Amino acid sequence: MSRKNKSNDDENLELPFGDPEPSTSPEELSPELSDDSFDGPHPPDSAHLDAMFSEWFLDYASYVILERAVPHANDGLKPVQRRILHSTRELEDGRYNKVANIIGNTMKYHPHGDASIGDAMVQLGQKDLLIDTQGNWGNTLTGDSSAAPRYIEARLSKFALDVVFNPKTTVWQASYDGRNKEPVTLPVKFPLLLAQGAEGIAVGLACKILPHNFNELIDGSISILRGKQTCLMPDFPTGGIADCTEYAGGLRGSRIRVRARIEQSKRNQLTITEVPFGTTTTSLIDSIISANEKGKIKIQRVEDNTADKVEIIVYLPSGADPATTEQALYAFTDCELSIASNICVIENGKPKFFTADDLLYLATDKTANLLKLELEIQLHELEEKWHFSSLEKIFIEKRIYRRIEEAETWEAVIETIDEGLEPYKKLFKRTVTRDDIIRLTEIKIKRISKFDALRADELIRGLEEQIAETKDHLENLTRYAISWFKELKKKYGKGRERKTELSTFERVTAQSVVLANETLYVDRKEGFAGYGMKKDEAICKCSTMDDVIAITQDGKMTVSKISEKAFFGKNIIHIDTFNRQEPNAIAYCMIYRDGKTGSCIAKHFTTGGVTRDKEYDLTKGKAGSRVFHLSVYPAKEQPEAVKVNLKPAPRLRKTEEIVDFSTVPLRGRAAGGNLVTKHSVRNVARLTIAEKEALGEGG
C-alpha cells in the first residue's frame, strides 16, 4: 500500500496539544521498512507516542500543581489570588471598585477566564481579611451565592495594605503575554495561609489547610521569635466545637472532628446556633430531614431562622428525650463531621508537606527577613537623604553656587562645584559623586534665596535620629519583629477572637442512639426471625441497624444483621438483639448433652467478638448434641443455680444434681464446660424457694 492510499484518519492525525510535528516517513523511522516491504497497514509508532504523552502529561501536571491548585509558602496565595490582589492594588484609590472592573484588569495577568477570577475573588472576600466588600457577597452560613460581579464592589482592606504590599521588596516577573509585570510572590508579613486556609486538587496531589485564629497566629509568631514551642489548633469562622485529638499538627492523614453547637431552648425543642466547618445550614437541614425519613431520628419539623447568625430550630415529638435526640443528630446527620488535613505548599519550586507549626515558623522567618530588608532599604534612603541635605546645606551656606557664574562650559561648572566642596568632603559618609553635583545644579534660585539654615540643621538632626533608630532596629531585629507583631495584633486583632471551642468528646455510635421503632418477631419451630413477621411471637423492640443473636436446640449460635425475615436455624431456644460494641456484657449459662448418649455438661460463657452470618457450635460439636437449659443474664450479676433431674436407672440412688453456675468459671464460647453427670438427663428445672434457701445454708 502506498502513502497516497493511507486512510483519512492517518492523514488527519493531530497531536493533542500544540502544533503537529512534521511527519516522518517509514524510511526515516527504519531504513529496513518501506512501503514495498509489506502490504498491510503501517503499524503506529507507539513508543514515540507514549514518550510524547508522558512528557506532555508531566508538563500539565506540573503546571496544575505549581500554577493553579497549590498555594506558595512565601505568601500563602495561589496564582489567581495573587493576581487578584496585585490587580486590586493597581486600581486602589481609597474608593470601592466594581468587581467586574477588577476582574477585567486581572485578566491581563491570569489567562484562565473571568469565571475563575470571579469565583476566587468571592472566596477571598468571604474570608473577611484582605478584601473590604460592599454589596451581596453571599452567605457562607447558608450557602447562598453572591450577586453578579457588576453589582458588588470591593477594595483592599487596611490590613492588606499594611502587610501584603511593598514594591521595593517585591520580585517581579513578566506576565503570560510579556506585556506587564506581576509579582513572583507578594511580600506578605503575616502567616496568611494559616489564617485563611486553603483547599485545592491538582494532578495526583491534594491540599487542604484548615483556617487558624488570627490572634493565636500572632502569639505563635511571637513565641517562635522568643525561641518557644507552639501548638496551633484550627479555628473556623462558622464556630462550632472541635475535637483535635487526632490533628497531629495537620500532617497527612490527620483529622479533626467538628460538631454543631446544639442547645435545648425549650422542653421539646433543640436549637442549632453554630454549624460545623465545611457545611451550610441548607445541607445540614437536608441531612436532618433525610435521617428522619429513614427512621434514624424522630422529629416533628425543622425551622430555619438563619440571618447573620445561625438559628435552626428542631421540634421534637411529645415524649422524646432531647439528650438522646441530640446524640442521634451527631451520629446520623451533618451535625458532626470528620475533616482531614493535608498541608501541602510550594517551596523552592516543589510541593512539600508541613505541619501547621512548621508553616508558622516559615512565615515568621519570612516576615523577619522582610522586616530586615525594609529596614535596610529605609536606612539607605535615610542616609541618601542625609547626604544630599548636608551637601545642599554646604553648597548654599558656603556660597559655592556663586563660583559657577564664571564657568563657560558644563564640565567647568562640574569641576568648579567639586573644587568648592573639596574642603568639606571629609564630613560626608560617602564619596561625593558626579550625580550628586548634577543634582546641586538643579536647585532653583528661589529655593536658594529662601534657604533657612536652622530648618536645614533641624532636618539633618531628625534624619540622624531616624538613622540611629533604624540601625538599632537592625541590630535588635528580633525585638523589633516582636514589637511589630504586637502592634499588628493591637491594630487588627479586636473582634477576631476564637470562635471554635476546643473540646474532647466521645464518638457517638449509631447503635447507641438509633431509635428502636421496630419489633423483633420469631417463629421458633421453623427458625425464621425479623421485624416483618408481625403474626409471629414478639421478642423485643429493635431498630433497623441492630444485629440479632440466635441459639438453637442443637447448640448452634448465629449473629446476623436484622432484616424483615431471615433464617437462623430450626428450634430456636434463644433470640435477642446483639450488642456488637460490648459482646462480653452478657453471660450465658447452658447445660447440654454431648452427642446422642454423651455426658451432661454445664457451660458458663460469653460470646466475645463474632463474625456476622457465621455459625458457631457452643457444644463440642458431636452429632445429636442437645441443649437442656439456657439462661441469659448481665455478666456483672450473680447467676442462679439449677436442678438437673436424672432418668431412673438400676442401681441409681441419686435422682438429681444441683448446678450452681456461680461456681462454674466464666469462659469464652469455645470452652467445653464442666462435667455434671454421665447419666441420662430427664430435664433441667429451676430451684424452688426452699431449695434455694437450703443451698444458701449449705454454702
Backbone angles phi, psi at 81, to 5 degrees: -65, -40
The residue that leads in pLDDT, 121 or 636, is: 121
Asked if residue 178 and residue 128 are part of one domain, the reply reads yes
Distance between CA atoms of residues 217 and 209, nearest Å: 14
Q: Please, are residues 123 and 106 in contact by the beta-carbon 8 Å criterion?
A: no
Q: Please, are residues 209 and 343 in contact by the beta-carbon 8 Å criterion?
A: yes
What is the SS3 assignment for 514? Answer: coil
Rounded alpha-carbon distances, angstroms, from residue 556 to 23, 431, 525: 75, 103, 14
The three three-digit cell numbers of residue 266, written as one number? 425549650
Q: Is residue 262 situated within a structural domain? A: no
- Least confident piece of the model among 314-328, 462-476, 549-563: 314-328
The three three-digit cell numbers of residue 629, written as one number? 437449659
Asked if the model's pLDDT at residue 665 lies above 60, the reply is: yes
The residue that leads in pLDDT, 46 or 319, is: 319
| CB contact set of 447 (below 8 Å; sequence gap of 6+) | none
Confidence band, pLDDT 50/70/90 cuts, at residue 651: confident
Supply the mean pLDDT for the chain. Answer: 87
Asked if residue 206 and residue 77 are part of one domain, the reply reads yes
Task: Please identify which of the residues 63, 96, 109, 151 carries the catalytic annotation.
Answer: 151
Asked if the model's pLDDT at residue 618 lies above 90, the reply is: yes
Asked if residue 651 and residue 617 are part of one domain, the reply reads yes
**Mean per-residue pLDDT, 103-123:** 93
Q: Please, are residues 270 and 325 in contact by the beta-carbon 8 Å criterion?
A: yes
Rounded alpha-carbon distances, angstroms, from residue 518 to 212, 290, 577, 583: 45, 18, 12, 22
Give pLDDT, residue 515. 65
Q: What's the total number of domains in the chain?
A: 4
Q: Give tens-digit pLDDT for 465-517.
A: 999 999 999 999 999 999 999 999 999 999 999 999 999 887 766 656 666 77
Give pLDDT, residue 20. 40
Asked if residue 698 and residue 590 are part of one domain, the reply reads yes
- Least confident piece of the model among 107-111, 429-433, 517-521, 555-559: 517-521
Q: Please, are residues 85 and 186 in contact by the beta-carbon 8 Å criterion?
A: yes
CA-based Rg of the chain, rounded to a whole angstrom? Answer: 42
Give me the sign of the Cα torsion angle 164, 170, 173, 177: positive
Nearest to 188 by CA among 66, 366, 67: 366
Amino acid identity, position 267: R
Q: Give tens-digit pLDDT for 584-603.
A: 899 999 999 999 989 999 99
**Structure letter (DSSP) for residue 608:** -
Give pLDDT, residue 3. 39
Distance between CA atoms of residues 107 and 183, nearest Å: 15
Give pLDDT, residue 648. 87
Nearest to 352 by CA among 73, 63, 667: 73
Q: Give tens-digit pLDDT for 31-90.
A: 444 444 444 455 556 666 677 666 777 777 777 777 778 899 999 999 999 999 999 999
Asked if the model's pLDDT at residue 202 lies above 90, the reply is: no
Confidence band, pLDDT 50/70/90 cuts, at residue 696: low
Give pLDDT, residue 26. 40
Asked if residue 153 and residue 23 are part of one domain, the reply reads no
The residue that leads in pLDDT, 27 or 333, is: 333
The three three-digit cell numbers of residue 145, written as one number? 451565592
- Strand arrangement, sheet containing 312-315: 261-266, 269-274, 312-315, 301-304
Q: Is residue 542 situated within a structural domain? A: yes
Q: Is residue 299 situated within a structural domain? A: no
Give pLDDT, residue 30. 40
The three three-digit cell numbers of residue 459, written as one number? 532636618
Q: Is residue 117 situated within a structural domain? A: yes
Where in the sequence is the domain holding 640, given as residue range(s)? 579-699
**Mean per-residue pLDDT, 552-571:** 93
**Mean per-residue pLDDT, 169-174:** 94
Percent residues over pLDDT 90 in the chain: 61
Q: Is residue 528 situated within a structural domain? A: yes
Asked if residue 589 and residue 552 are part of one domain, the reply reads no
Q: Is residue 310 situated within a structural domain? A: no
Asked if residue 129 and residue 154 are part of one domain, the reply reads yes
Query: Which of residues 524, 547, 577 is at a domain's end?
Result: 577
Query: Which of residues 554, 577, 600 is at a domain's end?
Result: 577
**Mean per-residue pLDDT, 454-463:** 92
Asked if residue 690 and residue 596 are part of one domain, the reply reads yes
| CB contact set of 606 (below 8 Å; sequence gap of 6+) | 583, 584, 586, 587, 588, 635, 666, 667, 668, 669
**Mean per-residue pLDDT, 671-693:** 86
Q: Give tens-digit pLDDT for 128-150.
A: 999 999 999 999 999 899 999 99
**Mean per-residue pLDDT, 222-241:** 94
Q: Is residue 548 situated within a structural domain? A: yes
Query: Which of residues 577, 602, 628 is at a domain's end?
Result: 577
Q: Please, are residues 645 and 679 in contact by the beta-carbon 8 Å criterion?
A: no
pTM over 0.75: no
Q: Which residues pair with 257 in a beta bridge?
A: 243, 338
Asked if residue 206 and residue 84 are part of one domain, the reply reads yes
Q: Is residue 255 situated within a structural domain? A: no
Asked if residue 587 and residue 567 are part of one domain, the reply reads no
Distance between CA atoms of residues 47 and 55, nearest Å: 12
How many residues are there in the chain?
699
Give pLDDT, residue 638. 87
Give me the sign of the Cα torsion angle 18, 23, 26, 30: negative
- Least confident piece of the model among 1-10, 363-372, 418-427: 1-10
Asked if residue 654 and residue 556 are part of one domain, the reply reads no
Backbone angles phi, psi at 642, to 5 degrees: -130, 165
Asked if residue 689 and residue 566 are part of one domain, the reply reads no
Distance between CA atoms of residues 654 and 672, nearest Å: 25
Asked if the model's pLDDT at residue 275 lies above 80, the reply is: yes
Please confirm, yes or no, whether 151 is among the known catalytic residues: yes
Asked if the model's pLDDT at residue 699 lies above 70, the reply is: no
| CB contact set of 438 (below 8 Å; sequence gap of 6+) | 414
Give pLDDT, residue 324. 85
Give pLDDT, residue 137. 95
Q: What is the DSSP string of 274-343?
A: E--TT--HHHHHHHHHHHHHTTSS--SEEEE--SSS--EEEEPPTT--HHHHHHHHHHHSTTEEEEEEB-
